[in-house]
Amino acid sequence: MGFEKFGRKSFTGMTKTAKFVDLLQEGKVEGTVCKQCGAKYFPPRADCAACLSKEMDWFEVPKKGKVETFTTAYYAPFGFEKDCPYTMGVVDFGDGTKLFARIAAKPEEVQVGMDVTVRTITYEDGQVSFEMAKA
Ligand SMILES: [Zn+2]
């Protein structure tokens, strides 16, 4: 339990990585890292896909990166209708980790290679998530 508060619209109530939401509420965006082989995961996984270990730790993702690619949604899925248009993209931290997130900027302001920071966000209805913003 505890995952209902994630995202604009949460479609998942239960997960082994529900601590992710608690961390977001503390202002931290964290993934998981395997204690056995060091593989890093974002979104966080409870089990390592590389070595099948269940021994995982949490790590805070880097704060700054660059937009690698992006797209703008002009038609939204259920629960996101009021947000259109909105832009999503992949941020590359340059250390082998990447993250997919909304970009808090007008579509015409977003460019590949743009410096961004990753931050947590609390929506007006109390849902929590994370997003990129111009650095
Ligand atoms: Zn592993």
Across the range 67-81, mean pLDDT stands at 90
59-71: average pLDDT: 95
pLDDT reported for residue 111 = 96
pLDDT band, residue 114 (cuts 50/70/90) = very high
> pLDDT digit string (tens) for 82-91?
888 999 999 9
- Residue 52: inside a domain, yes or no? yes
Structure tokens at 42: 């974002």
What is the extent of the structural domain holding 48? 19-134
Taking 70 as the threshold, does the pLDDT of residue 104 lie above it? yes
Q: Is residue 124 part of a domain?
A: yes
- Ligand 1 centre and the CA of 55: distance in Å? 8
- Model confidence, pTM: 0.84
pLDDT recorded at residue 2: 67
> Mean pLDDT across the chain, nearest whole number?
90
Burial of 107 (0-12, 13-18, 19+ CB in 10 A): middle
The confidence score (pLDDT) of residue 77 equals 83
pLDDT for the residue numbered 48:
97
Distance 111 CA to ligand 1 centre (A): 35
- 10 within domain boundaries: no
1 in any annotated domain: no
Is 107 a member of any domain? Answer: yes
Distance 56 CA to ligand 1 centre (A): 8
Go through 5-28 and write b for each residue having 16 or more CB atoms within 10 A of its CB, e for each that does not.
Answer: bbbbeeeeeebebbbbbebbeeee
- Which tokens go with 79? 């629960």
> Is 6 inside any structural domain?
no
Number of domains the chain contains: 1
- Expressed in angstroms and rounded, the spacing between residue 85 Cα and the centre of ligand 1 is 38
| Domain contains 56 | yes
Say if 87 falls within a structural domain: yes
CA of 24 to the centre of ligand 1 (A): 24
Rounded average pLDDT over 16-32: 91
